[in-house]
Amino acid sequence: MGDDTSPCRADGPELANYIADMAGQLQQMAQRERLDFLAYLLDLARIEAGDCASDPAFWGEQDGEH
C-alpha cells in the first residue's frame, strides 16, 4: 500500500495535471456515449485544471520560487 507515486499523494501542480488528464479521459468516454453536456463540463474541468497546473501564481509562487 505505501506507494508514494499514488495520485492521492500528489500535490500542487502535479495533482492538477493528474486531474486534467483524468478529466480528459472521462470527457472522451462521455463523448463516445453522446453525453454531450457531461462531456462539455468535463472539458471545462480539464481546461481549468491545466490552467491551474501551469500558473505559478495560483500556487503562491513568485518569480519561479516555491
**pLDDT of 27-48, one tens digit each?**
999 999 999 999 999 999 999 9
Rounded to whole angstroms, how far apart are CA atoms 46 and 23?
A: 5
pTM comes to: 0.77
Q: Is residue 66 part of a domain?
A: no
Range of the domain at 28: 12-56
Q: Is residue 46 part of a domain?
A: yes
Mean pLDDT, all residues of the chain: 87
Q: Is residue 43 part of a domain?
A: yes
Query: Which band of pLDDT confidence, cut at 50, 70 and 90, is reported for residue 65?
Result: low
pLDDT at position 1 is 44
Is pLDDT of 17 > 70? yes
Total domain count for the chain?
Answer: 1
Spatial CA neighbour of 40 closest among 31, 49, 52, 48: 31
Q: Where are the alpha helices (DSSP H) in the chain?
A: 12-32, 36-53
